[in-house]
Chains A and B, each alone.
Chain A
Amino acid sequence: MHAAAEIAYHLRIVQGLADRVLDRMPVWENTMEERFTMLLQEKKEAIQIILNGLRETPEMNDEIHKNLHIVYKGDKAEKLIFEQWKRVAEQNNFVNSDELDWLEENFQEMKKELKEAVPSIHEFAGGWEKTRFIVPAQYRE
């Protein structure tokens, strides 16, 4: 598959997963949940901009670069916040474990898709030196 198409493929899956999680909100309304919900929403919107961009000009430009940054850095920030929201929810028995497991699976699935898109992003951007400032270390291995 062409690199742009491969990126679009993974990002569409991430967008769908983000939608699924957002549809379930609110689960336990508090400041952490509000934060990761905002990040999911922002990530979804950034993906849409990338998808539109890839359709119009299938090559790296400032707009795609900026929004890939939002997607990857947002995903990382969102995981940190979600994981601690989950811990506090578990410690307090505020949310049942099935619900927490389901959310965890979806968040991990998003990360997995984003990791799988990385080789295509490298190819699309023309090398690691352009993308390592977008893609956090733990999405690159």
Chain B
Amino acid sequence: MDHRKVLHEQFVADNETVDKWIHSTCNLCSVGCGTDIAVKDNKIIGIGGIDEHPINKGRLDPKAKYQWIPNNSKDRLLTPMIRNDQGDLEPASWEEAMDLIVRKAKEVLKDKGGDGVAIYSTGQGFLEDYYTIGKIGRAGMETHLLDANTRLCTATTEWCLIESFGSDGVPTSFDDVDEADTIMLFGHNMAETGTVLWDRILRRKKATGKPYLIVVDPRRTPTAKEADLHLDLNPGTNLALLNAIQNKIVNNEWIDHDFINNHTIQLDELKQEINKWTIAKASQITGLSEEKITLAAEKLGKTESLVTTTLQGVYQASDATTTCLAINNIHLMRGLIGKPGCGPLHMAGQPSSSGNRTVGGVGTYPGNRNPNNPKHIQDIAALWNVKEEDLEIGPNKGIIKQLELMEKGQIQFFWNIHTNPLVSLPNQERARKALEKPFVVVQDPFLTETTEVADVVLPPAMWGEKEGTMENADRTINVLRKAIEPPNGVKTDFEILVEFARRMEFKDRDGNPLIAYSTPEEAFEEWKKVSAGRPCDMTGMTYDRLEKENGLRWPCTADNPEGKTRLYENHFFNTEVDYCQNYGKDPYTSRPLSREEFEEMNPNGRAVFKVTRFGGPTEQPRADYPFWLNTGRLIWHWHTRTKTGRMPEMEKEAPEAFVEINADDARNLAIKDGEKVRIVSPRGNVEVPAKVGNIMNKGEVFVPFHYGNFDGEANANEMTMDEVDPLSHQPVLKHASCRLEKIGK
């Protein structure tokens, strides 16, 4: 498999020679860069970018270059652990650990049924794992309590796409950023969170002057610094800005009448809402000048091609889904979708969270199926050879609702796979107390803050030690080959799940094992049959093709073996009543619509203009908490640093949390750069050094969320709100109120 000679960028341990390079994909963010893994003596010793990979063309970002280091960490778990009677975790055999898990799962299922067991997975696993979770969860445990940390990452993407276009799947792809005249990055600090894609945009801009860059972000981020137009709006006002822009575009007739008449519905309903949104009103709410908003509207209203990207600045803010719907509306009113250089590119955070949505480990039913459509449930029952009535249809509960169910003693078995909620969830104090209640299984290569509440810890294999596929943010499926055998004592996620199903004796209707496959590739082949005929059809893919072609985008079928660069090129959307992924929700109250209501709308292949009513933040600054608290990522770290915290180079760059404060605010509070500050919100407080400068506007502060442990490391989520977007149930982590107290040196 040592098939490539030239690697654009290689990062190999000093004084080592590589035995072989194995095809893989970066396992950090949703861009999905092609990588090769350097191996010597069954040890990973480095990484290289794949030159021919269409996404990154050999490039890698700083943290990606060191992502193999944690594999060789001395503190890796090499055996399961069980909490003993004294409350300590102690090593156990796989037999003991699996036996206990299975006994407990059976007990809870008997007592509480499917409502008592939950699986909370990840956006960093493999499609085959997610598919297996979906199958075990729905047809085995008959639960509707499947969620993942994708709830913090990409749930809003799924909902806004379903609402506007009938199903999940970004309409555009990364190829379109190479062709767009204008790119709007909305709440998306791409320079720090999707660095290689950002590099691709900047290279083009430097060479050709295109695209015109609009950046919407309250902070002066590295992305905003490159913008032609930076809209540094007040926190929680994204939708106010977009409502005024939509109104201006409609009023000025910068709209594509033919497209609207033939391919959309409900513009009149939208007009009634956005009519109220003058530029002056939006200026007052957003804090942006009227000139800036007008310029943005003109650019968006007149550009010939437009890609709009979104990320956590939208998804983790108030009105998250409706903000994305407003972006979809702008593309629809301009007819800028389904053609080169055009379309909304709602991103994901993690490397494979989109795949978890696609195969139904989280969210709706596998293959973009509609859990409210009896025909879709019949389909799945037939494909899995199980009884229809055994398939719980839910609806699914997001993690914040699941915490409530733990508090009430409803969820009694909680299986946490590759995620660290006791750093990443909002309002940590509450999350901690809730997670102390059920029987908790944590599957993680390292001891984490979450293993502190675990009853059993299972050590899984890491990147490079297992085989499978991942879906990135533009529908590309990449295969990751196994570069080395996992260390002794460790099993892959896939092996653990299959073993669990076997021990639980999950059967199909004929009494055969529910999980009949035994390798990831066999699971992928089964999944392909489930995907057939659906928007995410992958029947034209094989592992070998995915490696040879450096990834393929879905849909990819026998008729269309190269996959699709963009969806909806024929302007026919997935909104037929028996094809759509969901009947949608009321965009303001979030009440799910019935089939009858959907039929009354009669979209039938047309996209839907959703009404975008502004709500705004629930909690706002006031006398005792006068600042806005914003949280987010740094280029140097990934999530809760389980991996990047074990890369010395990254820890050196960003060893601890801090608070960014505007220089005027710092002066008023007599806080000097580097001095310690206590930040207090209505839920908790942390003490961190100040970074004084001009990145933040006055009245706003920013704390990175990567940090936090039980030894007192400052965790931004002690302060964040456990409030969610009503449609996507994604937590509002981007704004809360707080105050600053100077502590000094």
Contacts and interface: CB of A to CB of B under 8 A. Distances in A.
Interface of A: 30-32, 34-35, 38-39, 42, 62, 65-66, 69-70, 73-74, 76-78, 80-81, 83-85, 87-88, 91-92, 128-129, 132-134, 136-138, 141
Interface residues of B, number: 40
Contacts of B591: 39, 42, 70, 73-74, 77-78
A124 B375 CA distance: 22
A84 B724 contact: yes
Interface string B197-213: 00000000000000000
Contacts of B617: 31
B678 to A, nearest CB: 18
B394 A35 contact: no
B592 A85 contact: no
Contacts of B619: 88, 92
B597 interface: yes
A91 B683 contact: yes
B404 A83 contact: yes
A105 to B, nearest CB: 15
Contacts of B589: 35, 38-39, 42, 74, 77, 81
B254 interface: no
B726 A77 contact: yes
Given A39-B589, A136-B394, A69 B594 contact: yes
A39 B588 CA distance: 10
B718 to A, nearest CB: 12
A70 B591 CA distance: 8
A36 to B, nearest CB: 8
Interface of B: 113-115, 144, 318, 372, 374, 388-389, 392-395, 400-401, 404, 427, 585, 588-592, 594-597, 615-619, 682-683, 721-724, 726, 729
Contacts of B596: 62, 65-66, 69
B29 to A, nearest CB: 29
Contacts of B597: 66
Contacts of B394: 136-137
B590 A84 contact: no
Given A35-B726, A77-B726, 7 more contacts: A35-B589, A77-B589, A80-B729, A81-B590, A132-B393, A133-B595, A137-B392
Given A84-B723, A92-B682, A31 B618 contact: yes
Nearest to A62: B596
A132 B395 CA distance: 10
A30 B618 contact: yes
B318 A77 contact: no
Contacts, number: 94
- Which of A78, A84, A129 is packed against the most chain B CB atoms within 10 Å? A84
A85 B393 contact: no
- Which of B144, B589, B595 is packed against the most chain A CB atoms within 10 Å? B589
A138 B389 CA distance: 16
Contacts of A74: 589, 591
A32 B113 contact: no
A136 B722 contact: no
Contacts of A42: 589, 591
Given A133-B374, A137-B144, A141-B115, A81 B393 contact: no
Contacts of B585: 77
A-B complex: 7 closest residue pairs judged by Cβ atoms? A31-B615, A69-B594, A91-B682, A66-B596, A73-B592, A77-B591, A74-B591
A129 B722 contact: no
A80 B726 contact: yes
A67 B564 CA distance: 40
Nearest to A91: B682
Nearest to B732: A84
B374 A129 contact: yes
B588 A32 contact: no
A65 B724 CA distance: 29
A92 B427 CA distance: 13
20 contacts: A30-B618, A31-B615, A31-B617, A34-B615, A35-B589, A35-B615, A38-B588, A39-B589, A69-B594, A73-B594, A77-B726, A78-B591, A81-B589, A84-B724, A87-B722, A91-B683, A133-B372, A137-B395, A141-B113, A141-B115
Contacts of B616: 31
B682 A77 contact: no
A130 to B, nearest CB: 9
A38 B586 CA distance: 11
Contacts of A65: 594, 596
A87 B395 contact: no
Nearest to A133: B372
A32 B723 contact: yes
Contacts of A66: 594, 596-597
Contacts of A35: 588-590, 615, 726
Given A35-B589, A73-B592, A137-B394, A80 B724 contact: yes
